[in-house]
Structure 1
Amino acid sequence: MQDLTLTCNALKEWAIAINALENGKTIMLLRKGGIQEQGGRFQVAHEQILLYPTYEHQQPFLLKLDYSSLVVPVTSGWHPETVTISSWAEITDIFQVSDESIVKALEPFHIWSESFISDRLKWKHHQPLYVLLLRVYKLLQKVEIPYRKEYGGCKSWIDLAEVVSRQGAEPVLSNSKYNEIVEEIRKTIGKKL
């Protein structure tokens, strides 16, 4: 019988964003997709995913002030020798947004600067910005995995060589708190449509 708590599917995201997710500061990610995405567009490959931290593209000026001071920029191509996986998430909601007024209304719910979000919306302007809401769970034990060349590049999804157990992971936010934030976001998006 297959153990459904084991997974190797991971979503790559800035380490600062994963930290905010793991600390309950946000439940939202905004994605357009990396250069190496299949078909050149972002797609949700899995609904339950490990959160894989990246460092290369995170820059202080791309983040709100509360988060910008927490980022230490790295040189292009830099990566750690080992990567720490400390959480997994269930993607509970996916919205496609093309209207800048909706993106502006979502400002209280994410960590990025207004200029970065505006630029993301305009990049590949014919493609929507994906708003992902994630129910995040902290793993019982952090897992250290070696960095592999195939984990690099501008792509959202990777399959880890290691299998990680999600068993016993604890939700970052209570059901009621998570559902309350989700409803606020749904109402914010619905009011603008």
Structure 2
Amino acid sequence: MTLHALKEWSVVIDALATAKTIMLLRKGGIKEQNGKFEVTQTEVLLYPTYEHQQASLLKPDYAKLVQSVISGWHPETVKIHSWAKITHIIPVSDAGMVEKLQPYHIWGANFVCDRLKWKPHQPLYILLLKVYNLPKIHEIPYLTQYGGCKSWIDLESEIYLENSVAVLPESRYGELVAEILDTIK
């Protein structure tokens, strides 16, 4: 069972849950604890959010999947369908290195460069995630404490991870991790 969740755009979580990517690029939200992005737990539920989700910041194939919502909108219930083990946390400050990673994530090049430049004294973090789909979708009520520009939340609802299914076989996940690590050498 776990309660700790990583908030991410809904379209990104869907890409993770369907093995389109294993990578997240994070600097953190405005309201991060201690003012910077930190990973405190490596097994996390993936909490889909629509806050700040913008089609123009994604590669074209993913941009068309974005559900447009008005600012501040959130669903009455949130569907949690996957979780992840964060296997690698790699800080990156070099724009050239980030550019080499373009084939491995779903964001547009301009967005990635802008994220790197935002808070330039802090690195951009590459997170590699081994993602698992839960045996059933858990629909939980949206609570106001889940909102806001922050990466991590603790859910009120318990969600059990037993009988989850990895979206990628261990061997394929290992191959992708090796490619990514080789790319950033």
| TM bin (shorter chain) | over 0.9
Unaligned ranges ≥5, structure 2: none
What is the CA–CA distance in structure 2 between the aligned matches of 1:38 and 1:138, rounded to whole Å? 28
What is the CA–CA distance in structure 2 between the aligned matches of 1:137 and 1:125, rounded to whole Å? 33
What is the CA–CA distance in structure 1 between the aligned matches of 2:69 and 2:36, rounded to whole Å? 26
What is the CA–CA distance in structure 1 between the aligned matches of 2:184 and 2:158, rounded to whole Å? 36
What is the CA–CA distance in structure 2 between the aligned matches of 1:43 and 1:145, rounded to whole Å? 25
Q: Indicate the larger mover: 64-73 or 10-19.
A: 64-73
Give secondary structure in 2 for the equivalent of 1:80: coil
Pairing 1:131-142 to 2, within 5 Å after superposition: 131-142=126-137
User: Which of residues 42, 59, 66 in structure 2 aligns to 1:47?
Assistant: 42
What is the CA–CA distance in structure 2 between the aligned matches of 1:70 and 1:117, rounded to whole Å? 19
Question: Is the aligned partner of 1:171 residue 2:166?
Answer: yes
Deviation of 1:36 (Å): 0.4
TM-score, reference length from structure 1: 0.95
User: Which of residues 7, 10, 18 in structure 2 aligns to 1:15?
Assistant: 10
User: Which of residues 128, 147, 150 in structure 1 aligns to 2:123?
Assistant: 128
Count, aligned residues: 185
Deviation of 1:74 (Å): 1.1
User: Which of residues 174, 184, 187 in structure 1 aligns to 2:182?
Assistant: 187
What is the CA–CA distance in structure 2 between the aligned matches of 1:77 and 1:58, rounded to whole Å? 11
Runs of 4+ in 1 over 6 A off after TM superposition: none
Pairing 1:91-170 to 2, within 5 Å after superposition: 91-170=86-165
User: Which of residues 23, 26, 29 in structure 1 aligns to 2:21?
Assistant: 26
Deviation of 1:76 (Å): 1.1
Deviation of 1:70 (Å): 0.7
Q: Percent identity?
A: 59
What is the CA–CA distance in structure 1 between the aligned matches of 2:19 and 2:137, rounded to whole Å? 18
Give secondary structure in 2 for the equivalent of 1:185: helix
